[in-house]
Copies of this chain bind each other. A is one copy, B any other.
Amino acid sequence: METKRSPKNIFVQGPISPESIAKSIANHSTKTDIGGHSIFLGQVRADEKEGGKVTAIEYTAYEDMALEKAFEIREAIFAKYPLSCMHIYHSLGEVKVGEICLFVFTSSKHRKAAIDACEELVERIKKEVPVWGKELIDNDGSVWKENL
């Protein structure tokens, strides 16, 4: 039997609540070697589309591959930066305009590592993790998002 660290779940059904973010921050108060936290939050925008306005994004994922990929990215970022902690949460299902769909959280002794790692994590997640967002429009239509 092969033994290895297994991918952690990153998916949350529906929006990520500010309360869960606060809880995640509070959980780090016992880690007294941490000097800086960097957090990125993705929020659903009410973009204007042909025919109407975005009211929500419906997220789906190739979950098994997404968790493997997130794990691979996680290991690479841990190897590259001196981090104390790293957390990734992404919504699945419907997230309404103004709600949070992505929560990336890095912590380190000195600020630079946390800040750089967080930015790189966000870029890699958007580019490499198989998740799709379908923008739901107020005219009952929909548009598949594409990351730039």
Task: Give residues in A with beta carbon < 8 Å to B.
Answer: 18-19, 21-23, 25-26, 28-46, 97-100, 107, 109, 111, 114-115, 118-119, 122
Number of copies: 2
C-alpha spacing A11/B40, complex, angstroms: 23
Q: How far is the CB of A29 from chain B (nearest CB, A)?
A: 4
Further contacts, 14 of them, CB under 8 A, given A25-B100, A115-B122: A18-B22, A28-B98, A30-B98, A32-B44, A35-B42, A36-B40, A36-B41, A36-B42, A38-B38, A39-B39, A40-B111, A40-B114, A43-B107, A45-B109
> Residue of B at shortest CB range from A31?
B98
Q: How far is the CB of A39 from chain B (nearest CB, A)?
A: 4
| Contact across chains for A42 and B111 when beta carbons are under 8 A apart | yes
Q: How far is the CB of A38 from chain B (nearest CB, A)?
A: 6
Task: List residues of chain B with CB within 8 A of the CB of A119.
Answer: 115
